Amino acid sequence: MTQYMLAVHDDGSDPYAPDELQTVYDTVDKFNQQLQADGYWVFGGGLKPIEAATTVDATGDDVITTDGPFAESKEYLGGFWIIEAPDLDAALKIATEASKACRGAVEVRPFDAE
């Protein structure tokens, strides 16, 4: 079994129309329940907008705390799932369902097992 992160990116614009939002919540909720029932679920959730991010850097002598994201980018992580699947083919199948449910492209990345 390999753990994968399924990441959904968000470009800051409102991705869903107001009437679409409830449908997406419902389909994602249903998808999450299915993931749990199938035993693939590890963790998952949506993130608050990037304005809510704080960056902490303790690599130097002083701890530097800054408002905002680590790197300026057009797209930020909007939400993610962590799943456990037998192999990439299984993970890609789950990602297909995830993409349909949240109506966004999903990036599949394996966790480093070392």
Partner 1 sequence: MLSRSDRSTPNEPDLLSADARVHAEIERIVREEHGRVVASLARRFGDLDVAEDAVSEALLAAVERWPVDGFPPNPGAWLTTTAGNKAIDRIRRESRRDAKHQAAMMITDDTPPEPTGPVEDDRLRLVFTCCHPALAPEARVALTLRMLGGLTVAEIARAFLVAETTMAQRITRAKAKIKAANIPYRVPEASDLSERLNGVLAVVYLVFNEGYLAGSGDDPMRIELTEEAIRLGRVLRELLPDEGEVAGLLALMLLTDARRAARFAGGELVTLDEQDRGSWDRTLIAEGHALVRECLERVAATGGRPGQYQLMAAVNAVHTDAADARDTDWSQVVALYDQLMAVARTPVVALNRAIALAELDGPDVGLALVDEVALSGYHAWHTARAELLRRLGRSAEARTEYDAAIAATENPAERAHLTRRRDQIVR
DSSP class per residue in 9-51: EE-SS--S-HHHHHHHHHHHHHHHHHHHHHT-EEEEEE---GG
Q: Which is closer to partner 1, CB of 73 or CB of 96?
A: 96
When the beta carbons of 1 and 56 are compared against partner 1, the nearer one is 1
Please, which of residues 40-79 interact with partner 1 by CB under 8 A? none
Beta-carbon count within 10 A of 16 CB: 14
Is residue 86 a contact partner of residue 18, using CB atoms and an 8 Å limit? no
Is 6 a binding residue for partner 1 by CB under 8 A? The answer is no
- Residues 75-104 touching partner 1, rule: CB under 8 A, are 86-89, 91-92
CB 23 to partner 1: min, Å: 27
d(CA 48, CA 78): 7
Contact indicator for 43, 79 with CB cutoff of 8 Å: no
Instruction: Please identify which residue in 2, 27, 32, 34 interacts with partner 1, judged by CB under 8 A.
Output: 2
Q: Name which of 68 and 86 has its Cβ closer to partner 1.
A: 86
Site residues (vs partner 1, CB under 8 A): 2, 4, 86-89, 91-92, 108-110, 112
